[in-house]
Amino acid sequence: MKTVFKIAKKALPAASIYFCIFCGLMIAFTFLAGKDQEKNFQATKLDILLEDKDNSVLSEALTEYLGKENEVSEDFNRELVSELIFNGVSDYVVYIEDGFEEKFLSGEQGGLERQSIRANVAFLDEKIELFFRYVRAELALGKTTEEACKAVLLNCEKQAKTVVTSDKGQSMLSPGYYFFTYISYILPAILIMVLGPIMNAYYKKEIKMRTDCGKLSTRKQNIAIVSGIAAVAMMLWGLLMIMGVCIYGRDFTVSTYLCGMFNSFLFLLVSVAISVLIGVLVRGGDALNGASNLIGMGMAFMCGVFVPSEMLPDGVNKFAEFLPASWYMKNVRMLYETDNMADVIGEYLGNCGVIAIFAVAIFCIFLVFVKRKRVV
Amino acid sequence: MVYYLYRVKRLFRNKILFFWSIIFPLVLATFFKLAFSAITEKDWGFDTIAVAVTTEEGSTPDEMLISFLEEMKNEDQAFFEVTETDPETADRMLSEKEVTAVIVVGEETVIKLRENGLDSTVVKTVIDGYLQSKDIFMEAAVTGKLAQVTEAFSDEMETLAVREFKGASKDPLIQYFQALIAMASLYGAMYGLMNSNELNTKANTADVAARRLASPMKKIPTVLADVAAAFTIQYVQFLIIIAYYLLVLKVDFGTINGWLFLGGAAYSLFGVLIGYCIGSVVRQKENIQNALMMGTVMFSSFLAGLMVGGLRITIELSAPIVNRINPATLIADSMQALCIMRDMDRFATCMIGILIWCVALIVVSVLAMGFRQMAEGRRVKNV
C-alpha cells in the first residue's frame, strides 16, 4: 500500500493540472451562474448596433422604440461590424441612411437596412415593420411626425400581462449543478493519471516477477493494491465532496447533496474501473496522459457535460446511452429539475443501477486483461 | 537530402509527438463537430413556435387574434403553430412542453409562459404588437378615421431592407475550428524542440546529440535539414487536418483557395521555430522545456478562442495589441480574414505579423545557439 501511495504521489503534478482546471471552472461558474430562474417574465434582450445618419425625429423614435426591450448601441467600430456579427457579439445591425425620414413620408422605399446572420431574429423585422405601420396609422389620424412618433412610443407601453409558470425547483444554472456535472469529467481524467501509473508499475513484467518471488502471497498482494487504489480514489472523491460543501453549501438542499453524492460515488467506481483497465492496457506516462484526455473529454462532450444534451444531435445522444457518464448526467439533471426527489426516486435508482452495472462490466473486462497478462 | 529523409523518419516515429500534433487535434475537431453541429441550428435557426390559445369562461373567443397569429410568416415558414383549446388542456400542454406559451383571451389578455427565453420573447412581442394595433384601431373608430387607419395599416410597403452579411460562412462556431488549427500548428513546436534538444549535449537526449555532433556534417546544414524535416511533417499534418475538416467533418470553412495553403506553410514554420527558440533559450531539463512549450501553446490558443468562443473579438475590442502579437490569434485571424471575411488586407497584416515573429524567433535561436557554442568552446579550452 505504501508503494501505491509512492507511485500516486509521482503522478500528482500532472493530475493537479486537471484539479486546477476543475477548480477554475467551479469558480467561474460561481460568478456566471447562481441566480435562480426568474418567476417574472424577462425578455431576451438582443444586442443591436444602430448607425443613424439621418438623425431625424423618425429615426430617433425608432432608436428609442428598439431600445425599450433591447440593448442598442450607437457607439461601435464600423470596421469591426462583420466581425461583431460573425462572433455573435452583436445580433442585429440597423443602418439608417441620411434622408430616410423624407423618403418614408413621401411613401418611397429605402434608407433603412438591417444585417444579421441569425434566422430567429425575424420577429424583430416584424416589430420594426409594425412600428412604421403604427406611425403611418397615426399620421393618417392627422398627427404630425413628431406627434405620431410620440403616440406610437406611448402606445408601446401597453403590454399584455405575462405569467411564467416554470415548475423548476432549483435552477439548472445553479453552481451546484455545474459542480456535479464537471465531476464526471474530472474523476476519470484524474484517476487515469494517478491510478494508471500504479497499474503500469504493478503489472510490469519484471516487477511482477520480482514481487511474486517474495514471501507475500498473491492474495495479500491483491488486497494491498486494491486497498491502495480504494484509498487514493476515496481521498480524491472525499476532497471533491468537501470542496462542494465548502463552496456551494448554500446551493444544496440535503436531498440534492446526498443524492448527488451517492450518484458521484457510483461514478467514482466506474472511473476507478476505467482507470485500472487503461492502466493495464496503456504503458507510459505520456500515453496515459493522452488516454486520460481522450476518455475524459470524449465522454464529457458526448454525454452532455460540456454542451447540454438537448443541443447535441440525436445520433450522439443515442450513442451516449452506451457510456456511463450519460446515465450519471441523467441523474444530475433530475436532481436540479425536480421539486420533490421522492417523485422520481425510482427512475433515479434505476439510473444508479445502470451506472453500477457499467462499473462491474468494466471491472470484469479489466480482470480478463489481467488474466491474460499473468506472467507467473 | 539523405540526412533530411532520416530526420523525417526519426521525427515521424515518435508516437507521443504524433499523438499530440495530429491525433489529438483530429479527435478534438470530431468532438467539436459532434457537440456544436446542432447548436447554431437550435440556437440561431428559425423554428415555428407552438402556442395554445384559450378563452376565459364568459368571454368570447378572439378569432382575429388566431388568424393574426396564423398569418404571420417568415419567408414561407409560419411563425406560430396555433392550437385552440380549453384552459385545462392548454395548461397541460404548457407543462408538458408541447407549447411554448398559452394565450388566455379574456377581459385582459394574459400570456402564460413556461420559462424565459427567445421564443417566449417572440410570443410576448407579437401579442403586445397585436394589442397595441387593436388600441390604435379603437382610437380611430372613436375619431371616425377608421378607413384611413385601415388603409395605412394594410399598406404592404416594406420599409426595412435586408443587407446581406458579406462573410463566406454564417457559422460562428467555425472560430473554434480555426483556433484548433492554430493550436495544431503551434504544436509543431514539439518537433522544433525535439530537433533542438537532439543537438544539445545537456538535454535528456544527450547521447543522440553527441552522436549527431560528432558526425562530419557541418552544423548549419544539420540545423537546416532538421528544420526542413520538422516543417515537412507539420505541413503534412496541417493538410491532413484541413482535409479532415472539409471531407470528413464537412465543416463550412468558408472560401478555400491557394492562399490558405501558403498560409499553412507559414503557420507550420512558425510552430517549428517556436520549439527551436524554446529549446535554444531555455537550457533546463526537457520536462521543464515541454511544460513551458505546452503552456505557451495552450495559453496562446486560449486567447485565440479555443476554449471560450468570442474571446478573440472581446480582446480585439478591449486590448487589440494582444491580438496583433499572440501567435495563435494571428493564425486564427488570418484564416478568418481569408476564408470567411475575404479581407486580403487583414490577411496580409496577419501574415506579416507571423513573418516578423518567424524572423525574431530565428534571430533569438541563432544567438542563443551561438552563445551556447561559445560557452562550450570556452569550457573545452579551460579543460
B126 touches chain A (CB under 8 A): yes
Pair (B201, B147) in one structural domain: no
Question: Listing from the earlier edge strand, what are the strands of the sheet with B80-84?
Answer: A161-164, B110-113, B101-105, B49-55, B80-84
- What per-residue confidence (pLDDT) applies to A169? 47
Q: Which residue is closest to A161 within chain B, CA to CA?
A: B110
Q: Which residue(s) pair with B53 in the sheet?
A: B84, B103
Which residue in A37, A118, A137 is closest to B152 by CB distance? Answer: A137
Interface probe, candidates B24, B26, B34, B69, chain A, greatest A C-beta count within 10 A:
B34
Pair (A228, A267) in one structural domain: yes
Residues of A in contact with B336 (CB under 8 A): 83, 86
Pair (A282, A190) in one structural domain: yes
The domain that contains A116 carries what CATH number? 3.40.1710.10
Taking CB atoms and an 8 Å limit, are B313 and A159 in contact across chains? Answer: no
- What per-residue confidence (pLDDT) applies to A47? 92
Residue B73 parent element (H or E): strand B73-74
Query: B321 CB contacts (<8 Å, ≥6 apart)?
Result: none
Q: How far apart are CA A123 and CA A101, in angstroms?
A: 23
Taking CB atoms and an 8 Å limit, are B139 and A123 in contact across chains? Answer: no
Residues of A in contact with B153 (CB under 8 A): 133, 136-137
- What per-residue confidence (pLDDT) applies to B181? 95
User: What percent of chain A stands above pLDDT 90?
Assistant: 27
Residues of B in contact with A122 (CB under 8 A): 46, 74, 79
- What per-residue confidence (pLDDT) applies to B237? 93
Pair (B314, B180) in one structural domain: yes
Q: How far apart are CA A3 and CA A227, in angstroms?
A: 12
Contact A247, A26 (CB under 8 A): yes
Judge whether A163 lies within some domain: no
Taking CB atoms and an 8 Å limit, are B341 and A83 in contact across chains? Answer: yes
Pair (B222, B331) in one structural domain: yes
Residue where one domain finishes, among candidates A123, A155, A187: A155
Burial of A232: CB neighbours in 10 Å, binned 0-12, 13-18, 19+: buried
Judge whether B161 lies within some domain: no
How many domains in chain B? 2
Nearest partner of B33 among B233, B245, B218, judged by Cα: B245
Interfacial B residues in 262-291 facing A (CB < 8 Å)? none
Pair (A238, A285) in one structural domain: yes
Q: Which of A24-38, A260-274, B229-243 has the lowest mean pLDDT?
A: A24-38
Residue A376: is its pLDDT beyond 60?
Answer: no
Residue A25: is its pLDDT beyond 80?
Answer: no
Residue A111: is its pLDDT beyond 70?
Answer: yes
Pair (B351, B257) in one structural domain: yes
The domain that contains B113 carries what CATH number? 3.40.190
Residue A350: is its pLDDT beyond 90?
Answer: yes
The segment with the largest mean pLDDT, out of A131-135, A263-267, B83-87, is A263-267
3 state DSSP class of B154: coil
Write out chain B's pLDDT in tens, 383 residues: 777 888 888 888 888 888 888 888 999 899 888 877 777 666 667 778 899 999 888 888 888 888 888 888 777 788 889 998 888 898 888 888 889 899 998 888 889 888 778 888 888 888 988 888 888 888 788 877 788 778 777 776 778 888 888 877 888 888 889 999 999 999 999 999 988 888 766 655 667 777 777 777 777 888 888 899 999 999 999 999 999 999 999 888 888 889 999 999 999 999 999 998 998 888 777 777 887 888 888 889 989 988 777 788 889 988 999 999 999 999 999 999 999 988 899 999 999 999 999 999 999 998 887 777 777 666 656 65
Q: Which amino acid is at B236?
A: V
Grid coordinates representing A322 are: 452506451
Q: Which residue(s) pair with A101 in the sheet?
A: none
Grid coordinates representing B15 are: 508516437
Pair (B89, B231) in one structural domain: no
Q: How far apart are CA B40 and CA B172, in angstroms?
A: 8
Pair (A120, A189) in one structural domain: no
Q: How far apart are CA A224 and CA A78, in angstroms?
A: 68
Instruction: Show the domain range for B313.
Output: 2-39+171-382
Instruction: Show the domain range for A249.
Output: 2-36+169-373
- What per-residue confidence (pLDDT) applies to B272? 94
Residue A38: is its pLDDT beyond 50?
Answer: no
Average pLDDT in the A267-278 region? 94
Pair (B177, B280) in one structural domain: yes
Cα-Cα-Cα-Cα dihedral sign, residues A297, A300, A306, A309: positive
Pair (A265, A128) in one structural domain: no
The shortest C-alpha distance from A363 to chain B (Å) reads: 26
Alpha helix ranges (H) inside chain A: 2-10, 12-32, 57-67, 81-86, 100-105, 122-140, 145-155, 175-202, 205-213, 218-248, 254-281, 285-302, 314-320, 324-337, 345-373
Q: How far apart are CA B25 and CA A290, in angstroms?
A: 12
Pair (B100, B202) in one structural domain: no
**Model pTM score:** 0.79
Residues of B in contact with A118 (CB under 8 A): 44
Average pLDDT in the A333-353 region? 87
Pair (B335, B378) in one structural domain: yes
- For residue A156, name the pLDDT band (cuts at 50, 70, 90): confident
Q: Which amino acid is at A59?
A: S
Average pLDDT in the A145-165 region? 86
Burial of B292: CB neighbours in 10 Å, binned 0-12, 13-18, 19+: middle
Encode B248-292 in three state secondary structure: HCCCCCCCCCHHHHHHHHHHHHHHHHHHHHHHHHCCCCHHHHHHH
Contact B24, A293 (CB under 8 A): yes
Judge whether B66 lies within some domain: yes
Pair (B210, B323) in one structural domain: yes
Respond yes or no on whether ipTM tops 0.85: no
| Chain segment A290-335, per-residue pLDDT in tens | 888 888 888 888 898 887 787 788 888 888 999 999 999 999 988 8
